[in-house]
C-alpha cells in the first residue's frame, strides 16, 4: 500500500515513511492510493481480531506490518463500550483511555509505531493542541527512550485541568504556551514540518491528526461499533461527532468508505462556523477561530478538510453523507443546566 498527497505533487510512499514525514513535501496530507474494502464476509474477523485485521491492508509491504499485532495489543488495552440509552440511541464511550480523551487511540498507536520504525533515530515529536490532544500525546510518549515531545497550546484558551495535563509531565515532555489561537499553534507545527522536508530537522515528527498514524487508528472504533450496532438493532447507525480539526470525522468517513455499515455523519461544531458556512455555500473559506465554552473544538481552519474534500469527487456527494450542526455557548450552557 502506498500513500499520496491530497495535493497530488509528492511521490507515493509507504506507511512508515508517511508517519515519519507527517506532512507531504507539497504541503498536503497523506491519504491511501486506494481504500481497502471489507465485505460483510470479513466483518467477523475484524470484530474478533483485536483491530489488527482492520489495519493489515493499510500496512502492506511496510516493515511495521510484522509488528502490527503487538502494536494493537499495546495501544488498545482499554475497553470501548457501546452503551444504549433508549430505543436506538447509543453512546460510544471513548473516554476509557489513560487521559479520558478519544485522542488516546491515535496517540498510543502512533507512539507504538514510531518506536518500531527501523532506522528511525532519536526524534522530536511536535504537537499543537486545543485542549485534549496534547495530554494524550504526552501520556503516549512519556519516558519513551530517546524521544522528546514538545506541545504547543494557546495561552489562556484551555481549561486549568487541561493545562495541568500538558505541563506536569517533565522528563521528555515539554509544553509551551503560545500567545494566539490553536490555528496559530497548528501553523507553527506545519512550518516546522516544511523545514523537516528540507532535512533541517530530519527527525521531526508530527503527532497531530495531520499525521496518518494519528488518524488511521480512529477508524477502528467506528468500524467495530457500527458492526455491533447493526447486530443489535438490525440497521446501520448514523454518528454525531464533535468536531474541531476534523480528524475524528474523517476517520468515520474512511470507515464508511471501507464498507462498514455507517449511514449519515453529523458534525457537531460550536460557534466557529467555518464548516457550517462551507456546507451551506459549497465554498471553503477558513476563518479566525473564536473562543467558546467547548474550547477543544475552537478551530477556524481545520487541517483535515483536505482529506474530507479529497475523499469525495463532488461536493454534492459529500453533502449527501455529511451534515453540520452548530451550537452556541448559550445552548451549551442551557443544556448543561438541564442535565
pLDDT tens for each residue of 32-90: 999 999 999 999 888 887 789 999 999 999 999 999 999 999 999 999 999 999 889 99
pLDDT tens for each residue of 204-255: 888 888 999 999 999 999 999 999 999 999 999 999 999 988 999 999 999 9
Task: Tell me which residue has cell 530517546.
Answer: 146
Instruction: Report the share of the chain in percent with pLDDT over 70.
Output: 97
Give Cβ neighbours of residue 66 (< 8 Å, ≥ 6 apart): none
Task: Tell me which residues are annotated as active site.
Answer: 103
CB 186 within 8 A of CB 208: yes
Give Cβ neighbours of residue 167 (< 8 Å, ≥ 6 apart): 175
Task: Tell me which residue has cell 500538558.
Answer: 166
Average pLDDT over residues 322-339: 93
| C-alpha cell read off for 331 | 445552548
Structure confidence at residue 283 (pLDDT): 94
CB 262 within 8 A of CB 84: no
Pairwise CA distance, residues 214 & 220, whole Å: 12
What SS3 class is residue 12?
A: coil
Give Cβ neighbours of residue 241 (< 8 Å, ≥ 6 apart): 248, 249, 252, 265, 266, 267, 268
Global pTM reads: 0.91
Amino acid at each position: 500500500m502506498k500513500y499520496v498527497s491530497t495535493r497530488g505533487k509528492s511521490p507515493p510512499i509507504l506507511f512508515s515513511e508517511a508517519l515519519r514525514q507527517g506532512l507531504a513535501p507539497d504541503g498536503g496530507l497523506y491519504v491511501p492510493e486506494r481504500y481497502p474494502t471489507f465485505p460483510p464476509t470479513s466483518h467477523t474477523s475484524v470484530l474478533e481480531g483485536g483491530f489488527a485485521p482492520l489495519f493489515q491492508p493499510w500496512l502492506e509491504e511496510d516493515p511495521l506490518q510484522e509488528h502490527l499485532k503487538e502494536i494493537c495489543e499495546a495501544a488498545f488495552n482499554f475497553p470501548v463500550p457501546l452503551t444504549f440509552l433508549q430505543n436506538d440511541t447509543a453512546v460510544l464511550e471513548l473516554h476509557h483511555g489513560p487521559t479520558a480523551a478519544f485522542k488516546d487511540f491515535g496517540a498510543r498507536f502512533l507512539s507504538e509505531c514510531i518506536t518500531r520504525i527501523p532506522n528511525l533515530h532519536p526524534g522530536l515529536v511536535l504537537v499543537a493542541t486545543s485542549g485534549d490532544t496534547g495530554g494524550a500525546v504526552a501520556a503516549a510518549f512519556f519516558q519513551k527512550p530517546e524521544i522528546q515531545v514538545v506541545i504547543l497550546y494557546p495561552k489562556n484558551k484551555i481549561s486549568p485541568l487541561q493545562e495541568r495535563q500538558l505541563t506536569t509531565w517533565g522528563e521528555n515532555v515539554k509544553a509551551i504556551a503560545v500567545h494566539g489561537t490553536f490555528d496559530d499553534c497548528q501553523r507553527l507545527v506545519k512550518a516546522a514540518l516544511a523545514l523537516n522536508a528540507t532535512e533541517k530537522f530530519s527527525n521531526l515528527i508530527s503527532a497531530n491528526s495531520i499525521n496518518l498514524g494519528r488518524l488511521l487508528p480512529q477508524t477502528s472504533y467506528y468500524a467495530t461499533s457500527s458492526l455491533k450496532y447493526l447486530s443489535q438493532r438490525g440497521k446501520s447507525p448514523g454518528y454525531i461527532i464533535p468536531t474541531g480539526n476534523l480528524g475524528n470525522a474523517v476517520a468515520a468517513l474512511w470507515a464508511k468508505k471501507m464498507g462498514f455499515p455507517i449511514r449519515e455523519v453529523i458534525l457537531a461544531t460550536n460557534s466557529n462556523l467555518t464548516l457550517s458556512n462551507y456546507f451551506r455555500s459549497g465554498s471553503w473559506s477558513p476563518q479566525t477561530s473564536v473562543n467558546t465554552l467547548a474550547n477543544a473544538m475552537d478551530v477556524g481552519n481545520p487541517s483535515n478538510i483536505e482529506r474530507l474534500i479529497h475523499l469525495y469527487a463532488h461536493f454534492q456527494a459529500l453533502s449527501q453523507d455529511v451534515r453540520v450542526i452548530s451550537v452556541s455557548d448559550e445552548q451549551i450552557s442551557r443544556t448543561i443546566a438541564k442535565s
